[in-house]
Amino acid sequence: MTLAIAAGSAILAALDLPVGTSLHALFIAPVSDSYGLSELALKSTPLLLCAIGLSVCYRAGIWNIGAEGQFVMGALAGGAIALVAPPLGVMTLPAMVTTGVIAGMGWAAIAAWLRTRYGASEILTTIMLNYIAVSLLTWAVHGPLRDPGGYSFPESALFESHALLPALTESSRLTVSTPFALLAVGALWWFLARTLPGYQIAVLGADSKAASFAGFSTTRLTWLVLLGSGAFAGFAGLSEVAGPVGQLTPHIAFGYGYTAIIVAFIGRLHPLGMLLASLLLALTYLGGENLQINTGISKSVTLVFQGLLLFFLLGCDVLIRYRVAGSNQPVAA
Amino acid sequence: MKLKYWRSSLRGLLRTLMVLTLSAVSGPGWTAAAQPLRIAFVHEHPVSAGGWSQSHDKARKGLEEIFGKSIMVTTLEGVMPGPDTVRVLTRLARDRYDMIFATSFGHMNAVMKVAQQFPGTTFEHASGYKQARNVGTYQIRAYEGRYLAGMIAGAMTRTNQIGYVGAFQIPEVVRDINAFTLGVRAVNPAANVRLIWINTWLDPSREREAAELLIAEKADVITHHTETPAIAVAAEAAGVHVIGYQFDRSAFAPKHHLLTVEHNWLPIYREKVQARLEGRWKSNLVWLGLANDATRLVSLSKAIPAKVLDDVETARQGIINGSLSIFAGPLRDNQNVMRVAAGQTLNDKDLSAIEWIVEGVSNSR
Amino acid sequence: MVEMLDVLLFTTLRAGTPLLLIVLGILITERAGVLNLGQEGLVIMGAACAFVATSTSGSVWIGTLTGVAAGTLTALAFAILVLALRANQVAAGLALTIIGTGLAAMIGDGMSGVSIVGMEALPIPFLGSLPLVGHALFSHDALVYVSLLLLVVIWRVMDHSRLGLTLTAIGHNPGAAHQLGLAVLPIRLMAILAGGALAGLAGAYLAVAYTPLWSEGISAGRGWIALALVVFASWRVFRAMFGAYLFGLMSILNLLLQGVGLNISPNLLGMLPYVATILALLLFSNARHRNTTMAPRALGQPWSHGD
């Protein structure tokens, strides 16, 4: 962490920029008021949700890179309910959430099926599915789901108020997804530590031979973790469009699915670690915006800062672990 | 009671006199003791990306030259539409920015949301269609410039095939394609415009590929509605003419650049900032074109014959004084459906939502 | 019609070249057992540095070499993380993407308005004037030929040389390889650097020959596509070439089909390359190999002397 800040400061100094003010703008200012804190929670929620699902996949050796596509499909399907379904009144939101979760699961199921039935690598299929999901989204907002009163612009109508997740407090944009994410953190911990499948995933992880020896079907495992991950990503997508966004646009592919992969690893696939990692990453986004507003530094510098932070976190993290845990550590990547 | 009344009104009178005198003395209508007007520009793409955002930024520089110390400008780029925009706009409003310009269509709903919470802040949104008491919108009638460019393209083509690389099928792009084609056909009814959609604003490789395909299909004049100069580079390499858009592209095609239809946002910005400084800003929909120099033809090539330029100038005057109506009927679309009846024309509302592509353009739709 | 075929072939070869280069780089790196997801960062770094170097020096070759160097150096940072510090490869690769993208944007700042004289086409003297295929195959710029040359060289090395077999062995079982006295870490380092060099070259090609422009979006996701294509190619060199050109063809077809009278939304047409890749993968999959992939068995797992 300090190394990253040191390197970042060096870059700032090299660019003739005020180091102290910049660091303050990047790390402290964004969370110096309650609005900032709520925004931090808002930004970190989808990251955390996706990361939770992904972490289980990674522990099981399934390289799901498709959280982005699953996120988008959850948003698209749930959003479609809000836009075209007959008036469901008070049942609208539950229908949206269910549809979003199922859509995310369905999208992940494609990868699971391709993997178990055809041996197709999930790295390939999930990356391709990400792109296909975004194409479907763009087609939908340019076509069937486009706002008829929107002057032919490729956006859907704004969701009606009964199709929006209610805000938790007056002054923030947080919705039920944030406490749900926190619950999920706890649930994940419980799953890994206290249930049989969770224990098997945690212990056997990527070692498929050992897993099958222990009577655990890799096919079932693959389906389980991919569906679970898809469910989380789909819910994350739905809660974004039914929450702070409030409509379907081509921009919903925010990249959270990819960032969540980083969150998962920085959090060492551990529920509490991922919680902290999601907050840290969200902070760098908020800090970057702040940096632009306060100092006029261009966005590319904040990207570099983010990357450096990650680089050094990863490097130092390993050094610490190496020293603490001893030399021989069979890491399942 | 009477005395108090007289005193307070006298004070008021003196104050007004003072203000008036100071205003008269200190130039373009602002009180000398005021804080600089805090202005923020919010862009979706990096300003240096060379197209839309850059044209806004050019106008920003113009603003700083005109208004000097009476304004203070901050620029933000890479602000993606969605929750991020709401947050950024909220921050700016909380930081007591007086005037915020959001330059990308996708920012529209975020602007409306935040404007509701900060009624004292002035918001302006480019290319949108929603207004509020403190939200105005503005756009350029680039299609007027495109019509003139089309006339030149129609005159300069030898193969009667003109290529057009478009980004997305949205009204802004469709308007320009239609106006351009109408200009082409006005001087050369036999010419055909071949259109390719690349479904992205900013991907130089795709733009290049599309341009090369159009050139392979015998287009000898190509133009674009995308952000980068890739089309110009492709044209130069293949030896065909190119008509640029948004920002002067002649540097990328020194031998084959015919002209660029340039965006000039300064007249719009100057007026809005002036209005705000003078306290007379009101929300409205500003849509300026040739008449205010908001769209203009720049870097015209010497290869264009004088006769053509004369015709273009005549047309230009006609558009400005209203005698030439670009979208006057009868107009058919490229599926042969009559869209504008004889004797009628499209008004601003129709133009804002236009989706159909005019006859003379070939594509899959 | 013949002319359109000629154009199609010509454009496909050009469009496929950057993909081919990146794919070859990933192939080498992954066959050695290292998963580098940071390809986008490498490519964009190569592009930015190549463009700036060409613009300042006036020479496309200096620019190209600078791009290659940039890719290699960036990959070196990644190598330090995953080889020396044994960091998680997936996360390190993603961090590389972020840093690479940001650094490249900084380096290329303000260069979008700059025009350079790109790489000239280099028609091969006799072959270039052959009827039918002369233009399409033999009138490209030098880097296209270079990429094909590299393809052959890499194929020979990877599949028919001691070095290549060593590298593959390391990718499957670094521990056993080490027992046999093979230099695991140095070879992995070389593989990562080679991957970086090739990705940098791809970026240089885009910025100095293909467009030639600088834009932050110049890579357009090719790094990710290439990662998928290597898996599609089962880590085999000629299949990788096939995949790269097939993908290039699909993306051009997408543009071409717009004039043919098909009333399909361009957004749906845009899915074509990705769906095609999945379908091709299914077609090539062998029921026998359902549960054993051709992947290097130790792909993605760090290794050090203590293991």
Q: Is the pLDDT of residue C28 over 70?
A: yes
Measured in angstroms, the CA of B229 and the nearest CA of chain C are apart by 8
At A173 the three-state DSSP class reads coil
- Could you give the dihedral angle defined by the CA atoms of residues B114, B116, B122 and B125, in that order, rounded to the nearest 10 degrees? 60
Residue where the block lists tokens 């948004």: B246
Measured in angstroms, the CA of A114 and the nearest CA of chain C are apart by 8
pLDDT grade, residue A307 (50/70/90)? confident
Q: Which of residues 71-130 of A touch C (CB under 8 A)?
A: 114, 117-121, 123-125, 127-129
Rounded to whole angstroms, the Cα distance separating A255 from A247 reads 17
Q: Is the pLDDT of residue B181 over 90?
A: yes
Rounded to whole angstroms, the Cα distance separating A259 from A277 reads 11
**More confident: B191 or A25:** B191
Contact A307/C at CB under 8 A: yes
Q: What is the predicted ipTM?
A: 0.86
Considering chain C, what is the average pLDDT of its residues? 85
pLDDT average, residue stretch C193-213: 94
pLDDT tens, B79-124?
989 899 999 999 999 999 999 999 998 899 999 999 999 999 999 9
What tokens were used for A1?
């962490």
Say if the Cβ atoms of B80 and A138 lie within 8 Å: no
Contact B299/C at CB under 8 A: no
List the single residue in B with minimal CA-CA distance to A38. Answer: B87
Say if the Cβ atoms of B171 and A152 lie within 8 Å: yes
Q: Which of residues 140-179 of B touch C (CB under 8 A)?
A: 169
Q: What is the pLDDT of residue A317?
A: 67
Which one of C234, C250, C271, C305 makes the best mutation probe of the A interface by having the most chain A beta carbons within 10 Å?
C271
Q: What is the pLDDT of residue A206?
A: 58
End-to-end C-alpha distance for chain C, whole angstroms: 61
Q: What is the pLDDT of residue B359?
A: 92
pLDDT average, residue stretch A270-296: 87
Measured in angstroms, the CA of C3 and the nearest CA of chain B are apart by 8
Q: What is the pLDDT of residue A318?
A: 63
Rounded to whole angstroms, the Cα distance separating C146 from C286 reads 33
Residues from chain A that touch B170, judged by Cβ atoms under 8 A, are 152-154
Q: Is the pLDDT of residue C122 over 60?
A: yes
Say if the Cβ atoms of B50 and C3 lie within 8 Å: no
Residue where the block lists tokens 């949700």: A49
Q: Which of residues 214-233 of C touch A (CB under 8 A)?
A: 221, 224-225, 227-228, 231-232
CB pairs under 8 A between A and B: 75
pLDDT grade, residue A312 (50/70/90)? confident
pLDDT grade, residue B8 (50/70/90)? very low
Phi, psi of A167 (to 5 degrees): -75, 145
Q: What is the pLDDT of residue C148?
A: 93
pLDDT grade, residue C228 (50/70/90)? confident
Q: Is the pLDDT of residue B29 over 60?
A: no
Say if the Cβ atoms of B197 and C266 lie within 8 Å: yes
List the single residue in B with minimal CA-CA distance to C251. Answer: B206
Out of B82, B95, B169, closest to residue A245 by CB = B82
% of chain A exceeding 90 in pLDDT: 35
Q: Which of residues 199-238 of B touch C (CB under 8 A)?
A: 199-200, 202-206, 208-210, 212-213, 216-217, 227-230, 233, 237
**More confident: B361 or A150:** B361
Q: Is the pLDDT of residue B289 over 60?
A: yes
Sequence-separated (6 or more) residues with CB below 8 Å from residue A183: none
Measured in angstroms, the CA of B52 and the nearest CA of chain C are apart by 13
Q: What is the pLDDT of residue C306?
A: 61
Say if the Cβ atoms of C210 and B206 lie within 8 Å: no
- Could you give the dihedral angle defined by the CA atoms of residues B344, B349, B350 and B351, in that order, rounded to the nearest 10 degrees? 110
Say if the Cβ atoms of B91 and A252 lie within 8 Å: no
Q: Is the pLDDT of residue C241 over 90?
A: yes
**More confident: C7 or C158:** C158
Say if the Cβ atoms of C266 and B202 lie within 8 Å: no
Residue B73 forms beta bridges with which residues? Answer: B39
Rounded to an integer, what is the distance from CA B293 to the centroid of its chain?
A: 11
Say if the Cβ atoms of C259 and B54 lie within 8 Å: no
Contact C42, C104 (CB under 8 A): no
Q: Is the pLDDT of residue A279 over 70?
A: yes
pLDDT average, residue stretch A6-33: 70
Residues from chain A that touch C101, judged by Cβ atoms under 8 A, are 303, 307
Q: What is the pLDDT of residue A1?
A: 58
Which one of B48, B84, B168 makes the best mutation probe of the A interface by having the most chain A beta carbons within 10 Å?
B84
Out of A158, A173, A251, closest to residue B81 by CB = A251
Q: What is the pLDDT of residue C294?
A: 62
Q: What is the pLDDT of residue B223?
A: 96
pLDDT tens, C50-94?
999 999 998 999 999 999 999 999 999 999 989 988 887 887 888
Q: What is the pLDDT of residue B221?
A: 96
Rounded to whole angstroms, the Cα distance separating C243 from C228 reads 10
**More confident: B215 or C275:** B215
Say if the Cβ atoms of C267 and B199 lie within 8 Å: yes
Q: What is the pLDDT of residue B267?
A: 94
Q: What is the pLDDT of residue A99?
A: 95
Residues from chain C that touch A315, judged by Cβ atoms under 8 A, are 80-81, 85, 87
Say if the Cβ atoms of A152 and B355 lie within 8 Å: yes
Say if the Cβ atoms of B77 and A254 lie within 8 Å: no
Q: Is the pLDDT of residue C303 over 90?
A: no
Q: Is the pLDDT of residue C290 over 70?
A: no
What tokens were used for C174?
């670094």
Output the CA–CA distances (angstroms, integers) from residue B204 to C8, C17, C58, in the order listed. 19, 16, 21
pLDDT grade, residue C288 (50/70/90)? very low
- Could you give the dihedral angle defined by the CA atoms of residues B168, B169, B174 and B176, in that order, rounded to the nearest 10 degrees? 0
Q: What is the pTM of this model?
A: 0.85
Considering chain B, what is the average pLDDT of its residues? 88
Q: Is the pLDDT of residue B20 over 50?
A: no
Considering chain A, what is the average pLDDT of its residues? 83
% of chain C exceeding 70 in pLDDT: 92
Q: Is the pLDDT of residue B204 over 60?
A: yes
Give partners of A (≥3 CB pairs < 8 A).
B, C
Give partners of C (≥3 CB pairs < 8 A).
A, B
Q: Is the pLDDT of residue A244 over 60?
A: yes
pLDDT grade, residue C196 (50/70/90)? very high
pLDDT average, residue stretch A268-287: 90
Contact C100/A at CB under 8 A: yes
pLDDT average, residue stretch B208-228: 92
Q: What is the pLDDT of residue B45?
A: 85
Say if the Cβ atoms of A262 and C95 lie within 8 Å: yes
Rounded to whole angstroms, the Cα distance separating A21 from B56 reads 28
pLDDT grade, residue B365 (50/70/90)? very low
pLDDT tens, B239-266?
999 999 998 899 899 999 999 999 999 9
Out of C110, C111, C255, closest to residue B196 by CB = C255
Q: Is the pLDDT of residue B182 over 80?
A: yes
Q: Which of residues 132-191 of A touch B (CB under 8 A)?
A: 138, 142, 150-155, 158, 173
Residues from chain B that touch A240, judged by Cβ atoms under 8 A, are 83
Q: Is the pLDDT of residue A18 over 90?
A: no
Q: What is the pLDDT of residue C300?
A: 73
Rounded to whole angstroms, the Cα distance separating C96 from A303 reads 11
Q: What is the pLDDT of residue B21?
A: 47
